[in-house]
Amino acid sequence: MKYTTLPNTDIKVSKICLGTMTWGNQNTEAEGHQQMDYALENGVNFFDTAELYSIPATSETYGATEKIIGTWFKKTRNREKVVLASKIAGSGDYTAHIRKDGFSKRAITEAVEGSLKRLQTDYIDLYQLHWPERGANCFGVRDYPFQYATKEAENHLEILETLNGFVKEGKIKQIGLSNETPWGTMKYLQEATIHDLPRMITIQNSYSLIHRAYEYGMSEVSLRENIGLLVYSPLAFGVLSGKYIGGKKPSDARVTLFPAYNRYSTAESEKAVIEYQKIAQKHGLTLTELSLAFVNQLPFVTSNIIGATKMSQLKENIGSININLSEDILKEIEGVHKVIPNPAP
């Protein structure tokens, strides 16, 4: 395993982070425990979850993933060996079953205390805002939704002040963002500097060979402001494993089970995936290995969040850390990217 530190801290984290959002729906508690055992044994010390998991978000599965992690902590007593990240759910119809007051002080308090109880821990190492309260181009929205986004209030200072209260109590060690934009990220940094409040140190956004929009503005923010990217969906919901090519629909695959998760399944995406698969085969790699190794080597990435429903997938994903892509391979990847740039929104 390779390691780095969370930006502006001495917290050592693995470059591969264990994603957990299928536990409690596609995966059982026993399978979740097995994945955590294997990950930790193979050097992965960074786990990411969220209060709304498992996915898709429903009232029946709310908090299920955190509970599975909590029972593993209780059984193994491995809490101190893990850097744990979780998130408060953003607002909107998708999470109306959780709460309806966004990132208010009351909402953050409820969310933090609930997660701590389910996780059976006294603290969370990295606490993140799952998505902005305002309208923003994320979750497959390419263009800025200016028609309604500009009407929303800014409450960055209140959020930072509330989170700071939990930092002072020791219930949160560090704070971060998710699904944010350059403006939103810089706004939080500005408020933190002006008011001497905790600084957002990471941002968890989607990034993959077929979705590199992070490079439009956020990559520069990451590098210049030392905000580490925690990559989610590096395999684009499995699209970059190649298993959906040619209209295939594996019965137990995520996009087959949950058709609404189709943001990466465009016709142009398949064209790009086929080209990337050719590169992988040419160099004796699987498409999965190529896709993850590409993300692992990016200078603005702190950790690559992998998720698996099968142990064979987990082993391949974690093993990608040992693959180094040559300059020739990287040039071939850029050649495809120039012809078919960001085919998935």
Q: Which two tokens stand for residue 65?
A: 């993933």
Pick from 228, 233, 226, 227: which is nearest to 212 by CA?
233
Cβ atoms of residues 263 and 254 within 8 Å: no
Report the residue count for the chain: 345
- The amino acid present at 257, given as its one-letter code, is L
Between CA 66 and CA 63 the distance in angstroms is 5
Catalytic residues: 53
Long-range CB contact pairs, 148-155, < 8 A, 24+: 154/187, 155/102, 155/103, 155/104
Q: The domain 3-262+295-323 is classified under which CATH number: 3.20.20.100, 1.20.140.10, 3.40.50.150, 3.30.43.10?
A: 3.20.20.100
Distance between start and end Cα atoms, the chain: 31
User: What pLDDT is recorded for position 135?
Assistant: 84
The domain locations on the chain are 3-262+295-323
List b or e across 17-48, with b for residues whose CB sees 16 or more CB atoms inside 10 angstroms.
bbbbbbbbbbbebebbbebbebbbeeebbbbb
The span from the CA of 68 to the CA of 89, in Å, is: 18
Q: Exposed, middle or buried: residue 183 (CB in 10 Å: 0-12, 13-18, 19+)?
A: middle
Could you read off the pLDDT tens digit of each residue along the chain, which spans 345 residues?
A: 999 999 999 999 999 999 999 999 999 999 999 999 999 999 999 999 999 999 999 999 999 999 999 999 999 999 999 999 999 999 999 999 999 999 999 999 999 999 999 999 999 999 999 999 888 888 888 888 888 777 676 799 999 999 999 999 999 999 999 999 999 999 999 999 999 999 999 999 999 999 999 999 999 999 999 999 999 999 999 999 999 999 888 888 888 889 888 899 999 999 999 999 999 999 999 999 999 999 999 999 999 999 999 999 999 999 999 999 999 999 999 999 999 999 999
pTM, two decimal places: 0.96
* b/e code 291-318 from CB counts within 10 Å (16+ = b): bbbbbbebebbbbbbbbbbeeebbebbb
